[in-house]
Amino acid sequence: MEQTQDSRGFPYQWCNLYPGKQYISVNNKWLYPCPPTAAPLPLPPDQEVIKVHRKHIARIVLEHDFSIVSKTGFGIRPPEAEAMKLVIQHTSVPVAKVVWADFTGSEIDNNPEYKGTIHMTTISGICLEGKWEGLGAKSKESICRQIWSLSCQWREIPRPLELDDTFQCAADGSPSRDPMLQDLNNPPLPLTNDAKLRARIYERYLHYGGRQYERTLPDVLPRSYRSVFTHGDIAARNIMVDDDNNVIGILDWEFAGWYPDYWEYAQIMKPSYHGDFQDWMGRTAPQAWDITGINAARKVLF
């Protein structure tokens, strides 16, 4: 295939990559339409098949030659790669294996120019988001119980010794980027216990104009006596299942880290979620927490 544009080809550019589409890339310079196929094609070394899985704002997820997935863009940071490594090391949770990662820029002030790429192994299967509505009650219940069972494994991931004095942090020990927990000060102070975490939420709530619980929020925020490893973004879009509705992959670990033991539940039960995935996760949860205070703060901070 010539490396010059012809009537079928177009430049390898962000604007020409469409979610769900598959292309043949030539030297990462030109794209050519590629028919759907489930097996590698006999291509020369300067060509590869790429499939666009996701594309959102300044991030894109591509599958390369049916074997490697790359997640690239602004805001892709080391904690996500570290989280996947920890899960593989300490659990049997099905998660992609990091093959290679590269990060550029500075973490200072949550620099929006911070850009990263994570190359990882593929996870086969079907995204639960596209399958959920067609499932029956038994299948929905089974999937949710599987997710909670897997979460029990990652909750037991041991905290590295160097993080013993930290109550809440990202998977690599860096400060959380969760809007509920980011420090208003710079450099951010570590969250070393539950009292400091609740104080941080309250400080942010007041700073951003929270008034309804201006005097009572500290009393209605849940208390936690231990922090555990947490995915932080469990949703149908981040779950892969097979034809028999077995969970075979947990995706997107960018928010993972150590959080209060109620945090996974609170994240799943966000008021902004829609559909009955949340309902089923609530029904099957091994433990429920009163998250009135968290939801009150969330309405102001999100």
Domain residues for the domain of 69 are 10-121
By DSSP bridging, strand 239-241 and strand 247-250 are: antiparallel
- Examine the domain organization and report whether 100 and 192 are in the same domain: no
pLDDT value of position 108: 44
- 84, part of any domain: yes
Q: Per the structure block, which two tokens stand in for 177?
A: 């980027």
Tell whether 99 and 43 lie within a shared domain.
yes
Last residue in a domain, options 76, 104, 121 = 121
φ and ψ at residue 62, rounded to 5 degrees:
-120, 145
CB 231 within 8 A of CB 139: no
What CATH number did the domain enclosing 18 receive?
Answer: 3.30.200.20
CATH number at residue 170: 3.90.1200
Task: Choose the final residue of a domain: 121, 153, 176.
Answer: 121
CA pair distance 236, 232, nearest whole angstrom: 13
Q: Parallel, antiparallel, or unpaired: how do β-strands 98-104 and 115-121 relate? A: antiparallel
In sequence order, the 6+-apart residues with CB closer than 8 A to the CB of 273 are 235
Helix (H, G, I), strand (E, B) or coil at 147: helix
Q: pLDDT value at position 263? A: 98
Do 285 and 147 fall within a single domain? Answer: yes
Residue 174 CA to residue 201 CA, distance in Å, equals 18
Q: What pLDDT is stored for residue 105 in this prediction?
A: 64
Work out the end-to-end distance of the chain between its first and last CA atoms, rounded to an integer number of angstroms: 49
Last residue of a domain, one of 88, 121, 154: 121
- Cβ distance 57 to 45 under 8 Å? no
On the 0-12 / 13-18 / 19+ scale of CB atoms within 10 A, 94 is middle
Whether residue 287 lies inside any domain: the answer is: yes
Model pLDDT, residue 11? 93
Cα–Cα–Cα angle for 131, 53, 235, rounded to 5 degrees? 45
CB 205 within 8 A of CB 179: no
Residues 104 and 148 in one domain: no
pLDDT of residue 144: 98
Q: Is residue 14 part of a domain?
A: yes
Asked whether residue 2 is domain-assigned, the answer is no
Full-model pTM? 0.90
Q: How many whole angstroms separate alpha carbon 236 and alpha carbon 238?
A: 5
Domain membership of residue 203 (yes or no) is yes
Segments of 107-165 assigned E as strands: 115-121, 126-127
Give the distance between the most distant pair of CA atoms in the chain.
Answer: 69
Residue 258 is given by DSSP the state E
Stretches in the chain below the pLDDT threshold 50: 1-3, 5, 108-109
Q: Which tokens belong to 50? A: 């790429």
* pLDDT score at 152: 98
Residue position matching structure tokens 């201006």: 214
Residue-level pLDDT at 302: 80
Tell me, yes or no, whether 1 lies in a domain: no
Verify that 155 and 271 share a domain, yes or no. yes
What whole-number distance in Å separates Cα of residue 135 and Cα of residue 122? Answer: 25
Assess whether 106 and 131 both reside in one domain: no
H or E element, residue 105? none
Do 75 and 187 lie in one domain? The reply is no
Q: Number of structural domains, the chain?
A: 2
Same domain, 130 and 179: yes
In whole angstroms, give the CA distance from residue 94 to residue 89. 11
Cα–Cα distance measured from residue 296 to residue 213, given in angstroms and rounded to the nearest whole number: 8
Same domain, residue pair 111 and 138? no
User: Do 59 and 114 sit in the same domain of this protein?
Assistant: yes
Contact (Cβ atoms closer than 8 angstroms) between residue 260 and residue 227: yes
